Chain A
């Protein structure tokens, strides 16, 4: 089976820190489309630090409930990480919406934001942040990859019940289900 892989590549040496990608992204995802701008709602953000020559665009990836350990592992120079002779701010490359920071959360609702490569209807040929990046710090790549046919998914409920049965024994699970069903029925009758 073929699967389409869509990626936005970042060339850190080309980024000049203009944040046009943030403007474009937040306007594109505004509701109605293009009606407002707000970089805090952008799904791509640029870490800039003039003094240390750090310019790193980061795309919002996934939501996570917990902070990762990387923050405490990779610290090299105080708050900076040294990677191949270049200094980067802690979390520089991480696109997660995580409790350690405000990044990639909608400032109004607190809900996590995730880059969708501008796949709204109709999808853009290239994500908009890439289109406005004239220096090609951001480039877009689409390629097809051969992937193995995925085995049919097991029924989730069945998987869950099997796990409970393994832990508490089959009979206990059946008893509990009956108990819960009876209680619910009694409640409905009283109403």
Chain B
């Protein structure tokens, strides 16, 4: 018997209509765990670098994490992987909610989609019964309308449905996949779904998910639950409220947005508004959110309610969490939170990413204000920024006029528009819009994470350590019960927190490169573990001092799955997955030149020192100077097949296997 996982994938070819239930290799679970790890293996095996994102041969994988469907608290993530239309690299986007556990109960770990349906379809999976059904009557319907319509026509209110909206159907490069409660929105995988003519996937499962040692797992679960309860009642002292809890930043619950509104940049990632957060704004925004918020709601089997149901006049009801609360308001440069919430609601019904979309719209406004886009491109363009946002949003989703170009995101739109538009593309990494942050002094830890992060999204890499030195008076207390640190690093990391910020221990030269690498690695690894297990980052890799950490995760994985696990083994698996994702991208052309944050990300830059940091990190990771994992690294991680492929393709030469030169 297989534990935690079902041991079956559903393979569906939409071109031919062929559906197969295929047993998986238990050895893959041992090497890659599941979720992102096994997704990466499948993409490596089946999608060679020649395959374009919008191609029948591109594969779109909907995976549950290894622990989804078990009693492990917060293990509910759906990990969707494919080749991104925007970055042309591996795109993986994730969501919480209820879909992944339902898939497990239906008897599958993943759905692997290839081909393209001749007309718009949706999938209906009810345990062993799998159907490809006509969806032409759902064409153009919003994400939420689609979910409801499918539940009604199947007469299955308990079916969990993922759907795309008009944006996905029209292959907007930053289209999301929505599940009512949650969104998988980064890197444009909604467009891949649209390209495959797949409007939605509905799942209902009534099977058992078995665990290896239930009694033990329950004990571990109880400890985690107790810790969560404690952390919810005891926010970290001295840390801004929004970062002091666990879960996603609690922006649906808390009203103090000083940290986000004053540290993040407004407009097209342009202006920091220090002093913005006044008493008056706070009162107004508190009123707005409290009027709109109908209920705080949670994902499957998680006691932290990070999301809220929002209802605003003139916009259909929708569910929101986290920083999307502010993205539209800040990008439009308006002081009116209600506008931002309305705009976000419209966008979510269309199925758009709440991080990228506002930046694309703000970018278009900048181009207009600088005479690069004119009234010819934007006929009847309103004067007011709020109206402009709605105008542009409609154009992008419907791909009308200039909207057709903007629908490709800032990077591609800038190059297609030309006339100097490239200069306004100042907040993308690897062609993907980043969180709008523009700061003063180079932060060496964040520098490496922004530069080398394979997820191309800082929130999916950071966590574990504070973003800036802690105030001196709380440092001792912070490190006192810092149990999350990996074995053997306790003293080093605690010493770092205690010294960091003191004279002589400041950015950019402190922490020193070797310590920077270790801190980056820790943060990365914890995220990669979560993305394989399906445990929400909000309970694990993202917040400070989380309930899940490198010491209890191996025990939990072992009790649930029966895999023999310890700290080292788990670390190695996460390292393997991190490298395999890197290798998929390397095979698609990613090199050192692409590993860099936007030029204006920090005012104070140190080009030579940054090169040194890159050299150190690559060396630490066992990559050559061009960012390619070496033969030795790959073989140590059981990725010998990757090395062979690299040699065959001329990416590595056999004689430079030790990675001395590129």
Contact = CB atoms under 8 A, between A and B. Distances in A.
Interface of A: 16-20, 23-24, 27, 30, 32-41, 47, 49-53, 55, 89, 107, 132-135
A132 B215 CA distance: 16
Interface string B280-308: 00000000000000111111111101000
Given A50-B181, A50-B319, A132-B225, A33 B215 contact: yes
B209 A134 contact: no
20 contacts: A16-B296, A16-B305, A18-B299, A27-B214, A27-B218, A33-B214, A34-B71, A35-B210, A36-B209, A36-B210, A38-B207, A41-B208, A49-B157, A50-B181, A50-B297, A50-B317, A50-B319, A51-B148, A107-B206, A132-B303
A37 B302 CA distance: 15
B232 A51 contact: no
A46 to B, nearest CB: 10
Contacts of B296: 16
A51 B317 contact: yes
Contact of A34 (B206, B214, B228): B214
B326 to A, nearest CB: 22
Given A16-B296, A134-B225, A53 B232 contact: no
B198 interface: no
Given A20-B303, A50-B181, 18 more contacts: A16-B295, A18-B300, A27-B218, A34-B218, A36-B209, A36-B210, A37-B70, A37-B208, A38-B209, A39-B105, A40-B105, A40-B206, A50-B180, A50-B319, A51-B180, A53-B295, A107-B207, A135-B305
A20 B73 contact: yes
B229 A19 contact: no
A41 B208 CA distance: 9
Contact of B71 (A17, A27, A49, A133): A27
Interface string B71-101: 1010000000000000000000000001001
A52 B207 CA distance: 28
Contacts of B299: 18
A32 B208 CA distance: 12
B144 interface: yes
B207 A23 contact: no
B510 to A, nearest CB: 40
B148 A16 contact: no
B407 interface: no
Contacts of A107: 206-207
- Sorted from nearest, which 9 A-B pairs have the closest CB atoms? A34-B214, A107-B206, A18-B298, A40-B206, A36-B208, A134-B303, A16-B305, A16-B298, A35-B214
B229 A134 contact: yes
B69 interface: yes
B217 interface: yes
A29 to B, nearest CB: 11
A35 B218 CA distance: 10
Nearest to B205: A40
A37 B295 contact: no
A35 B299 CA distance: 23
Interface in B518-554: none
A35 B214 CA distance: 5
B211 interface: yes
Interface string B45-87: 0000000000000000000000001110100000000000000
Contacts of A89: 157
Nearest to A40: B206
A16 to B, nearest CB: 4
B232 A34 contact: no
Contacts of A18: 298-303, 305
B407 to A, nearest CB: 27
A27 B180 CA distance: 27
B309 interface: yes
A47 B151 CA distance: 14
A55 B297 contact: yes
A57 to B, nearest CB: 13
A24 B302 CA distance: 12
A17 to B, nearest CB: 5
A20 B539 CA distance: 15
B211 A19 contact: no
Contact of B214 (A19, A23, A30, A132): A30
Contacts of B232: 134
B294 to A, nearest CB: 5
Given A34-B211, A37-B69, A19 B300 contact: yes
Contacts of B70: 37
A14 to B, nearest CB: 10
B182 to A, nearest CB: 10
Contacts of B297: 16-17, 50, 55
Contacts of B295: 16, 53, 55
A20 B75 CA distance: 11
Nearest to B218: A34
A105 to B, nearest CB: 10
Contacts of B305: 16, 18, 135
Contacts of B69: 37
Contacts of B319: 50
A23 B71 contact: yes
A20 B228 CA distance: 14
Contacts of A30: 208, 214
B211 A51 contact: no
Contacts of A37: 69-71, 208-209, 211
Contacts of A38: 105, 206-209
Contacts of B144: 51
Interface string B301-324: 111010001010000110100000
Nearest to A19: B300
Contacts of B209: 36-38
Contacts of B215: 33-34
Nearest to A47: B157
A24 B71 contact: yes
Interface string B195-225: 0000000000111111100110110000001
A174 B81 CA distance: 77
A44 to B, nearest CB: 13
Contacts of A52: 317
Contacts of A53: 294-295, 309, 311, 317
Nearest to A89: B157
A18 B299 CA distance: 5
